[in-house]
Structure 1
Amino acid sequence: MAIYGYARCSTNENKQDINRQKRELKALGGVVEKNIYWEYESGTKVDRIELNKLLERVAEGDTIVATEVSRITRSTKQLCEIVETVKRKHLKLIIGGFIVDCSKGELDAMTDGMLKMMGVFAEMERNMISERVRSGMANAVINGRQIGRPKLSEENLPSIFIKHYPKYRYNQINKTELAKICGVSRQSIYKYIGIYEKLSRQ
């Protein structure tokens, strides 16, 4: 029986420090570093690479630990699907101080209701954040300010990409691994590499 952790932030490590979650996972459930699955993805995204890997790897009797429901998902529907996986595989799910024990394949009504309520609040919080963002963007347009991300150029390439690019350049890691280190998609890595290599040729 193994203990696994899952950590998630919405934006890359230049803006959010995922290591705090890792430290909390180790303290909370005794998770070792090699058993922590982590990624920078939106909590509303259903098809997350590291979460899917974790759910495929766990076996009967294993435990999954997360610091809070919103780290696993901000979708009530997806949370229900994950709970079904936990029940089917006879797992234990620890969310902060809340323990969901499905080692016998069952879940009592009280725990099930509390878990779903936590999922509803996580989704509601996300919707409220989205509303505030839309309101802020509308206000910025009214006041003539530019919105959205600045155009990507050599001046604003992430420092973490520049730091780890030599590993890719000398075939120590591939594009997928570089994307994971940088906390961005493979599509973004292709853009970064194109800009950086064009700059290097000048």
Structure 2
Amino acid sequence: MAPRILMNIAGEGVMKRVGIYLRVSTNGQTTENQRRELVAIAARSGWQVVGIYEDAGISGAKGRDKRPGFDRLLKDATGRKVNMIAAWSVDRLGRSLQDLVGFLTDLQALGCDLYLHQQALDTSTPSGRAMFQMCGVFAEFERGMIRERVNAGLARAKERGVKLGRRPVKVSVEARIRDLRAEGMGILKIGRTLGIGTSVVQRVLAQAEL
């Protein structure tokens, strides 16, 4: 079958060079079913599979730096080696709507499409592009709701007289931090010794230098 020409997110006709992304959360699972089905779909669609990128036993909640297969895939998309990414399901890519929309936004800027098998989402089609736009709307709604809840919580705390901001450090603790530092102790060890966070140690030492 000849390579299939489709419309990418930007509306341009391009040959589909597909990077297949596979992921399972535990070492007891296998990506073989995902691989077999996605390779078959690519063959039926006339897409050219240029790479298979796999993260086995890695949670989708992990960032890009903890998912080497995902990182390599995005680098190849940025380098225009692939112009479509195919995955089994949306939860193979990330764990939140905001993660997905951010990912899609990056792909849109690159003119790279996305195919999700379980959701029947293909951003190279008009209906897929419309779904992408709806995802953006819902993600913005989610962000707005989070902001409203945070602001409402702060307002309630203020009404109850709760003091917001950093908790003050006791004078005796500040003195101990400076003494230990003067003795040559490192910031991490000072925090462990006094049972406080390293950010507190850093803040006290920074203030002492002013």
Give TM-score scaled by structure 2 length.
0.47
> Max radius of gyration: which structure?
2
